[in-house]
Amino acid sequence: MEKPLTSSPESNPHIAAGANAHSKFYIPSLDGLRTVAFLIVFLSHAKVAELFPGGFGVTIFFFLSGYLITTILRREYDRYQTIDFKLFYTRRILRIWPAFYLVLFLGAALTVLGFIQGEIRLPAFLSQCLHYNNYYTIFSPNGTTPGSGVYWSLAVEEHFYLLFPLLYLALRKLRITPHRQMLVLWGLCLATLLWRCLQVYSFGASSERIFYATDTRLDSILFGCALAVNNNPMLDKQYYSQKIWNYLLLPIGVILIIFSFLYRSPEFQQTFRYSIQGIALYPIFITAIRFPDWGLFPLLNLNWMRFLGVLSYSLYLVHYTVIFTVKMYLPQLHKFMQAGISLLISVGLAYMIYHFIELPLGRLRKKFSRA
């Protein structure tokens, strides 16, 4: 049975490129995975667990983004034998920019007025407005609203999706088979890994240079794109039995992720870790989508998990600044109390953004859909 509209791919611009906001296209478990990704980031920023792998939450968001946007592009090309770039970018702008700039300008205004402790510097602020903050942050991390550093990941996606639809259209126009499309994207993932290794082992690049830069993080999105073009769990046939996926490949993926957390070599963390996590997410996504009723996967489809998944983009935008502000005004509270209050405030703000901005613009985006 099809799920409600609130779980459509457009629920989060980290994982939405411009599908019809009112499409019945739904992928089980992905709203829950969005919630898992956000909670990982939130708990890390709230510092309720010092070793919590916050960066892994962003990696999940990247993988989700690549998978769903490429799936949408694939469905469009299969139907029309082309991709309408004007509509694609119009939908993406309508989906991402309104909440993006609302939170950015409101945070800057509160900082300038002194309600949030910090200093706004024009070059840093402009880097956020113009979507190159990820590179600016590498060399000058200050000068923006506290907590707005999360905008770096949105800059990575803006750079990536400026060019990727052109690459995907070229692959389809050249009639390259899905398997070879996957190999091309895997090849780009390998090239990105080699580039990271060159940066770290030859040029001595800093961890910030590797973590924030588009050219060293784009493979986290590409792995999701590769899953979408071949062996897509929503569109393609299943190659192996459910037992192989659930009892062999899924545990291997989980073990690889745990290994990527436990192996603490700085060089490894800046190079191979991202590749291993991208590979490990393959069986996790496939099993979560194909077998949403198996094992712990039903938890991903609980109402509150899906609800937070729908709000996850706005939650991602506001949560870190809220955490900073709560700690500033309520320093006497235990960090768990601060985290709880921050989460409640973030959910409230995110719901208002969703209700007053995302839903109305969703109706407008419908006019720019070919579906």
* Residue type at position 157: E
Q: Which residues of the chain have pLDDT under 50?
A: 1-23
The sign of the CA dihedral 216, 217, 223, 229 is negative
Closest to 23 measured CA to CA, from 365, 301, 286: 365
Please calculate the CA angle 185-275-268 and round it to the nearest 5 degrees: 150
333-to-137, 330, 338 alpha-carbon distances in Å = 31, 6, 6
What confidence score (pLDDT) does residue 23 get? 43
What confidence score (pLDDT) does residue 365 get? 85
Q: Tell me: the pLDDT tens digits for 258-304?
A: 999 999 999 999 999 999 999 999 999 999 999 999 999 999 999 99
Q: How far apart are CA 362 and CA 96, in angstroms?
A: 11
pTM: 0.92
- Cα 175 to chain centroid distance, Å, stands at 29
What confidence score (pLDDT) does residue 366 get? 83
What confidence score (pLDDT) does residue 33 get? 96
C-alpha radius of gyration, the chain, whole number: 20
Q: What's the residue count for the chain?
A: 371
- Cα 165 to chain centroid distance, Å, stands at 17
What confidence score (pLDDT) does residue 22 get? 34
What confidence score (pLDDT) does residue 1 get? 30
Q: Where are the domains of the chain?
A: 5-366
What is the token pair recorded at 232?
A: 């897509």
The sign of the CA dihedral 83, 86, 88, 89 is positive
